[in-house]
Structure 1
Amino acid sequence: MDFDFLLQTRLFHGLTALELSAALAGLQASEKVYAKGARIFSAGEATNRFALVLSGSVTVESNDFWGNRTILGNIDRGQVFAETFALLPEEPLLVDVNANEDCHLLFITVDVLLLEEDGERPSWMRKLSSNLLSISLHKNLMLSRRSFHTAPRSIRARVMSYLNTLCLQTGSDTFTIPFDRQQLADYLNL
């Protein structure tokens, strides 16, 4: 496992190599590889673990009874997904998560974070909890942006809203969109 890469992720930010090693053991971290198109999590199932993308990317999407797909987001290398549902294990997932390309994932079990303990918690646990809160806040912003993109009535306004946000985020008028044409249409609810 590439500790240098893990220490650079938002999830493990601020941890030392020793703390990371203790965290991976305490969180029962395990790696798994998925082929493009493989289902990682299904709507309706409950989970006590979330995943960090080590390579590749995954798509978070909602599929309704009639087969309509809405892409809620693309999760790239170094990002996490399903953390909210892992921390609320009684809540079933509302979305499907699929491998957008061949991907390598690190699954993390959060049971130890939910235990109420008397006494001092290890430093890695405090840092990880703080990092998970930061990640949740950033995802809240991402969902707010998505609602800005889907609120306009016209297709042109939705696409322009999305492109404007990418322009502001990258600080450039040249950038790469993480979706193909159909995925972008699904993301913008077109």
Structure 2
Amino acid sequence: MLEILKKGLLFRNMEDDEIMEALETMGSHRSVYPKRTLVMRDGDAMTQVGIILSGNLHLFHIDANGNSNLMENLGEGEPIGLLNAVGEYRLHISAETTAETEILFLNVSQLLRKNVLTAPVQIRFLQNLTVAVAQQAHRLTRKLEDSIRRSMRDRLQDYLSGQFHKAGKRTFAIPLNRQDLADFLFVDRSAMSNELCKMRDEGLLKFEKSKFELLIEMPITEEEPDPNQ
């Protein structure tokens, strides 16, 4: 668990004993959820930050017409509920496991509202928490920009470029099926599949199910470095 936590922003530059001290202060606890379990629901009060220790979560929102929009696909080491737990806002998304998932929950209110910040470990954690909240807000801003300004091809290009940068090579597998990808990009699945076929026919990429290969002619969006990584 400690190795997973140290890879994320929340416990950056903290030693094992400091992490354990912070976890104890926040009354941390673990929960394991079977596959296809709703961990959180739209409208719930989110008072704790969760960190995924294993498994995977889909964060989605269902609009007034019953359409499901995939907001995030989260895996090992990634946090959930940062903005809600810090600001005490109710959730506007739901979270469902796509595999058996273990989550570590942290009661950050213990530090933010009920504790006198005197210990260096507590102050360091809150510094990291501030950066993590800023990072999450930035990601949401980028997603909003993509959803209101980009054509379908641009959205596909940006998403596949992001997967290319993560993999470090032009051949990779994405963590979403076709419907999930369409929901994540806020587009119609059939129209998206047609656009992918056009891109394939134009010699931009190859694909088979979740496996993609970006060919030389495929425009790749430049990666925006995260100053906090």
Separation of aligned partners in 2, 1:161 and 1:16: 37
Aligned to 1:99: 97
More displaced 10-residue stretch of structure 1: 179-188 or 168-177:
168-177
RMSD: 2.0
Q: Offset at 1:117?
A: 5.5
Q: Indicate yes or no: 2:180 matched with 1:183.
A: yes
Query: Percent identity among equivalent residues?
Result: 25
Q: Indicate yes or no: 2:148 matched with 1:157.
A: no
Q: Indicate yes or no: 2:135 matched with 1:135.
A: no
The residue identity in structure 1 corresponding to 2:32 is V
Alpha-carbon contact 2:4-2:76 (below 8 Å) kept: no
Q: Offset at 1:135?
A: 1.7
Aligned to 1:76: 75
Normalised TM-score (structure 1): 0.87
Aligned to 1:144: 141
The residue identity in structure 1 corresponding to 2:37 is A
Q: Indicate yes or no: 2:54 matched with 1:55.
A: yes
Separation of aligned partners in 2, 1:48 and 1:116: 13
Separation of aligned partners in 2, 1:185 and 1:148: 17
Describe the SS at the equivalent of 2:173. coil
Separation of aligned partners in 2, 1:25 and 1:49: 14
Alpha-carbon contact 1:29-1:106 (below 8 Å) kept: yes
Larger-Rg structure: 2
Greater RCO, 1 or 2 (C-alpha within 8 Å, sep 6+): 1
Q: Offset at 1:116?
A: 6.5
Segments of structure 1 that go 5 or more residues without pairing to the other structure are: none
Q: Offset at 1:104?
A: 0.6
Alpha-carbon contact 2:61-2:69 (below 8 Å) kept: yes
Q: Offset at 1:123?
A: 1.8
